[in-house]
A and B are shown apart, each in its own frame.
Chain A
């Protein structure tokens, strides 16, 4: 599905004596089916706000979001999301978490089982199906969250710093896992992905396009294509192309981080 974002803005109303805060300046973005777009920016730049608006969890103060021309105003199963915080349902096992959306759609039991089996295998969760979330490490919990979102077969996958709380090594493994799972579909059938992060390496490694957002109030200040072919593994991080992209993005982002720090 094609995702179209037109002049989306967000102003948070003031509380008490503080006036309203402009979090997001008018933002336009078009994402083609099967694209993997990273949104890179300093903390508090409105990148998560933009993602939440696409998810339908937040309403824009102006502008519109559309999927294949149809306006989006509320959350829906065609836009799956993985959050930075651990949001597995603690009273459900790994398998039951993955089956949550399927059961909401009241699919036949055999189909529910087949789909959860498939994603348990793809995300390397075999042997952990019957664990409760609290028995899992952060990395395993986010694997489950990813499987849970994908099991629902969304057209668009929204990832809000999903590996932000993980240690560096786990994070790199999870990036590879994400590309593996996403790339398991044929190129025409791949999910459209919006991936929010503040990690430059992560943004480049995953995406075919990186958007750089400015410090608050956020806007898209630069767009960089990543001409590295899929499938990718960790070795691309050592290539000259990668290093060059990283240098460019670092220059873009440093200025914004400094502004954000002074704000």
Chain B
């Protein structure tokens, strides 16, 4: 309840400065205008299609990144040799801002879906690798030793100890990176896109429609909140043991 309270305060302040005339509507639409703009977006401009495109790009890019990054991260955490080989490069690569690659990616991949996905992949893959490697590397050594004394070999240690031990935290890391993927997709859509929430926001700027822009931003926030909630619920279901004190 306290959490909802601040939303109310926030919208209240927003309403006060806009309805009160402190900020002219040209720069900031009132909550009512934003809501009306939102209705128009859905009924007249097919905004649901933009949302669908953006969601698909995020999930596609993030999914591809995770499919590559999680196994690599686990291998790095489990085997010192693999870590020594990849770690320096990935530590370097993860500081490269994904958005700085957008011009280059447009040159390589055009302005189509491949470019949008590439931005998200570039932005998430190295982060996931490093986080998963750290998690897998921190597997309790006494559990690994216990597995050895029960006859497990190297492959069994990875499959039956390191992976299940790391799984809940890996899912948490993915949840975090998914949030970042949302910022990358919008950045990618601001430049050279024909659809998507970011594209709509860009279009609205040309029309000086702050109501639509704000509504678009709020929609991103809501989708983020919902995916976060779903991710958490999934983790609780999958890893009931980890939730125990």
| B244:A132 contact, CB within 8 angstroms | yes
B151 near A76 with CB under 8 A, answer yes
Q: How far is the CA of A77 from the CA of B153 in the complex (A)?
A: 10
Q: A90 and B150 in contact (CB under 8 A), knowing A83-B142, A85-B142, A104-B156? A: no
Known contacts A100-B160, A134-B245, A135-B244: A87-B150 contact under CB 8 Å: no
A134 touches B150 (CB 8 A): no
* Given A77-B150, A89-B143, also A134-B161 (CB < 8 A): no
CB-CB < 8 A to B150: which residues of A? Answer: 77, 80, 100-101, 104, 148-149, 152
Task: Give the interface size class of chain A.
Answer: 20 to 34
Q: Does A105 contact B (CB under 8 A)?
A: yes
Shortest B235–chain A CB gap in Å is 13
**Of the residues B145, B156, B160, B245, contact of A87 by C-beta under 8 Å:** B145
**A147 to B: closest C-beta gap in Å:** 12
Contacts of A158 in B (CB 8 A): 149
B148 touches A75 (CB 8 A): yes
Nearest CB in chain B: distance from A139 CB, A: 18
Q: Which residues in A have their C-beta under 8 angstroms from that of B147?
A: 89, 100
What is the CB-to-nearest-CB distance from B239 to chain A, in angstroms, rounded to a whole number?
7
Q: Which one of B148, B151, B242 lies within 8 Å of A90 (CB-CB)?
A: B242
A75 to B161, CA, bound (A): 16
Q: A87-B143, A91-B165 are in contact. Are A105 and B151 (CB under 8 A)?
A: yes
Mask, B183-208, CB within 8 Å of A = 1, is: 00000000000000000000000000
Chain B 205-245: CB-based contact to A (< 8 A → 1; otherwise 0): 00000000000000000000000000000000001111011
Bound-complex Cα distance A117 to B132 (A)? 37
User: B146 touching A83 by the CB < 8 A rule?
Assistant: yes
Q: Which residues of B contact A100 (CB under 8 A)?
A: 147, 150, 152, 160
Q: How far is the CA of A57 from the CA of B146 in the complex (A)?
A: 10
Of the candidates A56, A87, A104, the one whose C-beta lies within 8 Å of that of B152 is: A104
In the complex, chain B residues whose CB is within 8 Å of the CB of A56: 148-149
A57/B145 contact (C-beta < 8 A), A76-B151, A77-B150, A89-B161 known: yes
Q: A85-B142, A100-B160, A104-B156 are in contact. Are A90 and B149 (CB under 8 A)?
A: no
Partner of A91, one of B146, B151, B152, B241: B241
- Provide the B120-154 mask, 1 if CB < 8 A to any CB of A, else 0: 00000000000000000000101101111111110
Q: How far is the CA of A93 from the CA of B194 in the complex (A)?
A: 52
A104-B156, A134-B241, A135-B244 as given contacts; A87 in contact with B151, CB under 8 Å: no
22 contacts between A and B (CB under 8 A): A57-B148, A75-B145, A77-B150, A80-B149, A81-B146, A89-B165, A90-B242, A91-B167, A91-B239, A91-B241, A101-B151, A104-B151, A104-B152, A104-B160, A132-B240, A132-B241, A132-B244, A134-B241, A134-B245, A135-B244, A149-B150, A152-B150
